[in-house]
């Protein structure tokens, strides 16, 4: 799958409280969570982000809590893909499990908010169309590719338990 869209950039250590503050965790309704996505980092983000756009961030994206509401909020806000230099491990698992596309790319530099990015999710190829620079994301291990191909962990478990036939 290929994505081409505008970028929103964030720095290092964007924690799950910034992505979705606990004051909104008395619901798990994705639309409601999306309204407050990244609110404590940038209160204007939820209002500005358009479906299909891309987040590019620094190190340790999604550190902190295990709240799945964080990737849910990002996904429901319409973000098509999150690219970060590195991800905190629970966020990484959660994103794959719920089918939010993510790419880990330690080499990504010089991408700025407003740049146009082209991303090939299968190949892990990232091109900054504004600067012409290209980057390659870390490949997923085969098991994770299987999870992603299944559309997330729910479908994977359904198949494994024979609820759905292959």
Partner 1 sequence: MGMTVTEKILAAHADLPEVVPGQLIMARVDLALANDITAPVAIREFARMGVKEVFDATRIALVPDHFTPNKDISSAEQARLVRDFAREQGIVHYFEVGRMGIEHCLLPEQGLVAPGELIVGADSHTCTYGALGAFATGVGSTDLAAVMATGEIWLRVPETIKFVYTGRLRPWVGGKDLILYTIGRIGVDGARYAAMEFTGPVVHELSMDSRFTMANMAIEAGAKNGIFPVDEKTHAYLAGRIKRPFRVYESDPDARYRQVYEWDVSELTPLVARPHLPENVAPARELREVIIDQVVIGSCPNGRMEDLRIAASLLRGRRVHPRVRLIVIPGTQAIYLEALREGLIEIFIDAGAAVSTPTCGPCLGGHMGILARNERAVATTNRNFVGRMGHPESEVYLAGPAVAAASAVLGRIADPEEVAG
Interaction site with partner 1 (CB under 8 A) = 13, 15, 17-18, 21-23, 25-28, 39-41, 59-60, 63-69, 71-72, 86, 88-90, 93-94, 97-98, 141, 143, 152-154, 156-158, 160-161, 163-164
Nearest approach, Cβ of residue 95 and partner 1 (Å): 9
Q: How far is Cα 135 from Cα 108, in angstroms, rounded to an integer?
A: 6
Nearest approach, Cβ of residue 20 and partner 1 (Å): 11
Angle between helices 89-98 and 69-76 (to 10 degrees): 50
- Decide whether 30 or 124 has the Cβ nearer to partner 1: 30
- Decide whether 107 or 144 has the Cβ nearer to partner 1: 144
Nearest approach, Cβ of residue 142 and partner 1 (Å): 9
H-helix or E-strand spanning residue 56:
strand 54-57
- Decide whether 6 or 35 has the Cβ nearer to partner 1: 35
What strands, in cross-sheet order, belong to the sheet with 116-120?
102-104, 81-84, 54-57, 2-9, 116-120, 125-128, 134-136
- Decide whether 20 or 119 has the Cβ nearer to partner 1: 20
- Decide whether 133 or 159 has the Cβ nearer to partner 1: 159
Residues 6+ apart with CB under 8 A from 14: 38, 41, 57, 58, 60, 61, 62, 63
Phi and psi based region of residue 109 (left: phi greater than 0; alpha: psi -120 to 50; beta: remaining) = beta
Nearest approach, Cβ of residue 34 and partner 1 (Å): 15
Nearest approach, Cβ of residue 88 and partner 1 (Å): 6
H-helix or E-strand spanning residue 159:
helix 153-160
Q: How far is Cα 131 from Cα 93, in angstroms, rounded to an integer?
A: 31
């Amino acid at each position: 799958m290929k994505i081409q869209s505008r970028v929103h950039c964030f720095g290092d250590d964007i924690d799950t409280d910034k992505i979705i503050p606990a004051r909104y965790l008395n619901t798990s309704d994705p639309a409601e969570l999306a309204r407050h996505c990244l609110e404590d980092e940038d209160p204007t983000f939820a209002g500005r982000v358009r479906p299909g756009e891309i987040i590019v961030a620094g190190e340790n994206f999604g550190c902190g809590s295990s709240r799945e509401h964080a990737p849910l909020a990002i996904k429901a806000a319409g973000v098509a893909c999150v690219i970060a230099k590195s991800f905190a491990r629970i966020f990484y698992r959660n994103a794959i499990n719920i089918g939010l596309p993510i790419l880990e790319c330690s080499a990504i530099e010089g991408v700025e908010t407003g740049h146009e990015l082209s991303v090939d999710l299968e190949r892990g190829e990232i091109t900054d169309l504004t600067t012409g620079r290209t980057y390659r994301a870390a490949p997923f291990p085969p098991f994770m590719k299987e999870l992603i191909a299944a559309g997330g962990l729910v479908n994977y478990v359904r198949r494994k338990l024979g609820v759905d036939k292959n």
